[in-house]
């Protein structure tokens, strides 16, 4: 006899989340994204089951780091040949490939197991506001984890429209 009560397929359904990375701290942003990719925000979370959601990150060029990380942070890769170590500073990586910076930070915060690559495949990163056709999939948007009171999930929302909604709600 089954122990399951009700329809569990709905509990495992994947939702698309939108994150505006402009003026956000890289480490805190990566931590929140990793939690959503793992599914820890769901009541059915199990470490051995991949029940996380999709995450779309926009404005990856505008992400910030604190302290002296702007000058000190290095991205390393090795070609596996002698002398094949390549080091790229944070500032040049942000110019050349800003989505790699966020993907690298999120990857470091995910568990090192067989589910890691599958979870990272659900992370979509865009350097500007334009997210193309994927914007139609968004169900939830968050900047600091809060949604405006008049949020309509049927309309695609960007970080700019969320800020406009918040300003409209705050001004009397």
Show the tokens assigned to 153.
Answer: 């999930």
Q: Any idea where the domains of the chain sit in the sequence?
A: 21-62+97-137
Q: In this predicted model, what pLDDT tens digit does every residue of 137-156 receive, in sequence order? A: 777 666 555 555 666 666 66
Give the mean pLDDT of 70-75: 94
CB 56 within 8 A of CB 158: no
Q: What is d(CA 38, CA 11) in angstroms, rounded to the nearest whole number? A: 14
Mean residue pLDDT of the chain comes to: 84
Q: What is the pTM of this model?
A: 0.76
Confidence of residue 1 (pLDDT cuts 50, 70, 90): very low
CATH class of 21-62+97-137: alpha beta
Cα→Cα distances 27→68, 77, 102, 107, 108, Å:
14, 20, 9, 11, 10
């Amino acid at each position: 006899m089954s122990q399951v009560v009700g329809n569990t397929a709905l509990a495992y359904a994947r939702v698309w989340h939108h994150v505006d990375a402009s003026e956000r701290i890289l480490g805190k942003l990566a931590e929140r994204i990793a939690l959503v990719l793992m599914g820890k925000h769901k009541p059915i979370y199990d470490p051995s089951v991949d029940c996380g959601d999709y995450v779309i990150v926009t404005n990856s060029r505008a992400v910030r780091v604190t302290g002296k990380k702007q000058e000190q942070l290095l991205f390393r890769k090795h070609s596996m040949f002698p002398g094949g170590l390549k080091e790229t500073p944070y500032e040049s990586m942000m110019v050349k490939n800003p989505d790699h910076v966020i993907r690298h930070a999120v990857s470091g915060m995910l568990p090192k197991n067989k589910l890691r690559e599958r979870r990272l495949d659900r992370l979509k990163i865009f350097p500007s506001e334009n997210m193309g056709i994927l914007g139609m999939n968004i169900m939830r948007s968050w900047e600091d984890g809060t949604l405006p009171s008049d949020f309509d999930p049927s309309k695609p929302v960007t970080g700019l429209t969320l800020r406009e909604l918040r300003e409209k709600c705050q001004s009397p």
